[in-house]
A and B are shown apart, each in its own frame.
Chain A
Amino acid sequence: MSGTSYVIKGARVLGEESRDLYVSDGAFAEAAPRGAKVIDADGCIALPGLVDLHTHLREPGREDAETVLTGTRAAAAGGFTAVHAMANTDPVADTAGVVEQVWRLGREAGYCDVRPVGAVTAGLKGERLAELGAMADSAARVRVFSDDGHCVSDAALMRRALEYVKAFGGVVAQHAQEPRLTEGAQMNEGELSGVLGLQGWPAVAEEAIIARDVLLAAHTGSKLHVCHLSTAGSVEIVRWAKSRGYPVTAEVTPHHLLLTEDLIRGYDPVYKVNPPLRSAADVEAVRAGLADGTIDAVATDHAPHPVEAKDCEWAVAAMGMVGLETALSVVQRTMVETGLLDWAGVADRMSARPARIGSVTGQGRSVATGEPANLVLIDPAAARVIEPGALYSLSHNTPYAGMKLPGAVVVTLLHGSATVLDGRVVER
């Protein structure tokens, strides 16, 4: 993995003064290694490789939408060096066998560290705990557990899951959606849902679960992570929980940082996602929450779907958007260009903190001698119009088609090997 050595000329680490970086044997080195390849990073920002807490790689089961290989290539193209593969595959990642399979596929692909997420309940059914310990002890060393796509709505089951994962330092990542309040829900509940005649997904259905779960986290002293938080009220609850010192972390998706429900007026299912796109006030609140650290991480919720799943009526369309290859650009647009975060802040929210939440060793570290060479170089002055057909992901359900977004990933290094060079994924 660490055959090639590199000299990276003139990179601005975390946006600071430009300097040269040296990479050999998979780590950052003190001096230029003999025979090193030179990468011209003039004008580029260098960040530690990005870590995604929330990726749907679809394998096993839906290889028509994405595979571990295609998904991790897309991740590398987006500047990621580690992804957490969500458990809602077919079969569900609720046994040591399935998580080890996904982990092994990730290693064979070699584009990212793939960290499988284990299901909290067997079959994601919300009835009884999956063998969490077996998944933790497996070669995949699972530390994040989630029924994502479904909420662990049973309070007693959620309590036990939180308690149980303490044994191996795990965290329960909750998809916060009160099921009875969201039966048949199609979009954010508000004035627009009333006008469009689409059944509402009220903010309270998310906030009620988060409120319950932060109290359970406090009660059990266990780690709760809130997936794809999307409302102003959710930000308030997490802010309150953190002010009390509760062991709670939270993530927001790029699409909830940029897009609002107004896009749904034309009923184009490319904008159908769960949780739904919210109001402009919610977008403002999640940006503020990410800026002040209430929200710990940006997580893509990369959710690939085949064409036919979106080329249909709104009501029958699948929920979700691809996001790995656009996440950094969206964060640059919504957080950096607005002055809400500097590049060090971006590194914190997209690399350091998600790595810590997921207990990912060797990721989310600083760009310093001796540290593993997981790195992304970004040209912040670049601008690109998003073309769905040009994405590395097997699926093209991006809500940003035709949109001009800032920034481009030029180079990604994974443990010292290039997965992206000159803005293109390296074939292996």
Chain B
Amino acid sequence: MAKRHLLSTADLTVDDANLILDTAQELASVAGRAIKKLPTLRGRTVVNLFFEDSTRTRISFETAAKRLSADVINFSAKGSSVSKGESLKDTALTLEAMGADAVVVRHWASGGAHRLANAGWIRSSVVNAGDGTHEHPTQALLDAFTLRQRLGSVAGRHVAIVGDVLHSRVARSNVHLLATLGAEVTLVAPPTLLPLGVEHWPCASSYELDPILPKCDAVMMLRVQRERMNQAFFPTEREYSRRYGLQAARMALLPQHAVVMHPGPMNRGLEISAEVADSVRSTVTEQVANGVSVRMAVLYLLLGGAESAIGNDEEGSAR
């Protein structure tokens, strides 16, 4: 892959995306071994730079980097100099001085990763681990990986993305990537939670969930923040849940083979019922496991991996 950064799934060609997914597939086999480590990124430094709390995402990237034998530095904006007013720029200059090869950045501001990659402050690769309400590309990649695993393919499949699309970086990254991979996407949300101009996105949209479900191969439920209700995006949690939540009765409208996805963390009882979350259709725990493989693939490919990811290394020779 010729790219230096992963900022948006909109930047990925179908070949890029498939290369990442194929590499992740290869790397996934490592997870099943007694020794889960590859020497691939030995001597390289990966910094997890988090301006917003997300233990799940940080641990996933940290595990991925460590399985590739990279040195990992966790740099949290909370409780560090950043919260005392050190700027993104000064943080970037520090990381540059430390010789970071890749910076995995989670930022509360849309465009945070773009700024870090393009402002001329650092030379390292930048991986967007979620920027504001913009994108979360590795989440979309792990979702596509999960779809491939469960359904055999992504092309031609119909995926509904349900909930707070307006504020969802997961939805944006998924729309771009799924369209690139040839899936058919329908966004389902109340009109207040669909962005203006969504009719120009490479997907369909609907205000109603029930008519969409029978033709879905997968339903992706988005997390809904309870505070949205105070900003008049919807009247009450109960009404939201009734109209857009996925409960057992509604799940029965899905075809037999269809799966239910959620990027986590879930609001059980709001956008998804416990029964659905724990059902055999749910891919929630697989998504977590696949997240590590996909992030290994991304780090490996961005940091210059040209050959097969586990082809000719010591630990891999037992294969």
Contact = CB atoms under 8 A, between A and B. Distances in A.
Interface of A: 186, 189-200, 266-268, 308, 311-316
B89 A267 contact: no
A193 B109 CA distance: 13
Contact of B110 (A196, A311, A312): A196
A190 B196 contact: yes
B110 A189 contact: no
Interface string B87-125: 111000000000000000001111110110011000000
B169 interface: yes
Contacts of B217: none
B110 A267 contact: yes
Contacts of A192: 197
B87 A314 contact: no
Given A312-B89, A315-B109, A193 B114 contact: no
B169 A197 contact: yes
The listed residue with most B CB atoms (<10 A of its CB), out of A195, A199, A266, A268, is A195
A192 B197 CA distance: 8
Contacts of B112: 313
Contact of B200 (A191, A199, A267): A191
A198 B196 contact: no
B196 A194 contact: yes
B146 to A, nearest CB: 23
Contact of A196 (B108, B134, B200): B134
B164 to A, nearest CB: 12
Nearest to A183: B231
A314 B133 CA distance: 13
Interface in B34-54: none
The listed residue with most B CB atoms (<10 A of its CB), out of A193, A268, A314, is A314
A313 B88 contact: yes
Given A311-B87, A314-B109, A314-B115, A197 B131 contact: yes
A190 B201 CA distance: 12
Contact of B196 (A189, A197, A315): A189
Nearest to A265: B114
The listed residue with most B CB atoms (<10 A of its CB), out of A186, A198, A199, A267, is A267
Contact of A193 (B87, B132, B196): B196
Contacts of A191: 196-197, 200
Nearest to A313: B109
A186 B197 CA distance: 17
Contacts of A267: 110-111, 114-115, 118
Nearest to A267: B111
B198 interface: yes
A299 B30 CA distance: 64
Given A191-B197, A194-B196, A314-B109, 15 more contacts: A190-B197, A193-B196, A194-B197, A194-B201, A195-B172, A195-B195, A197-B132, A197-B133, A267-B110, A268-B118, A308-B87, A308-B89, A312-B87, A313-B88, A313-B111
27 contacts: A186-B110, A189-B196, A193-B195, A193-B196, A194-B197, A194-B201, A196-B134, A197-B110, A197-B133, A197-B169, A197-B172, A198-B133, A198-B134, A266-B114, A267-B111, A267-B115, A267-B118, A268-B115, A308-B87, A312-B89, A313-B88, A313-B107, A313-B109, A313-B111, A314-B111, A314-B115, A315-B110
A207 B66 CA distance: 55
The listed residue with most B CB atoms (<10 A of its CB), out of A196, A200, A266, A311, is A196
Contacts of A315: 108-111, 132
B150 to A, nearest CB: 28
B271 interface: no
Nearest to B118: A266
A196 B111 contact: yes
Chain B interface residue bracket vs A:
20 to 34
5 smallest CB-CB distances across A and B, nearest first, come from A191-B197, A194-B195, A267-B111, A197-B134, A315-B109
B82 to A, nearest CB: 11
Interface string B61-102: 000000000000000000000000001110000000000000
Contacts of A196: 110-111, 134
A308 B85 CA distance: 12
A316 B109 contact: yes
A223 to B, nearest CB: 35
Contacts of B198: 194
Contacts of B131: 197
B143 interface: no
A191 B202 CA distance: 12
A186 B109 CA distance: 11
Contacts of B197: 190-192, 194-195
A149 to B, nearest CB: 22
Contacts of A186: 110
A404 to B, nearest CB: 22
B135 interface: yes
A268 B134 CA distance: 15
Contact of A314 (B110, B166, B169, B201): B110
A319 B81 CA distance: 25
Interface string B215-250: 000000000000000000000000000000000000
Contacts of B115: 267-268, 312-314
A366 B89 CA distance: 50
Contacts of B195: 193-195
B129 to A, nearest CB: 15
A90 B56 CA distance: 45
B119 A311 contact: yes
A312 B116 CA distance: 9
Contacts of A311: 87, 89, 119
A265 to B, nearest CB: 9
The listed residue with most A CB atoms (<10 A of its CB), out of B87, B108, B110, B196, is B110
A52 B144 CA distance: 55
Nearest to B87: A312
A312 B88 contact: yes
Contacts of A194: 166, 195-198, 201
B136 to A, nearest CB: 10
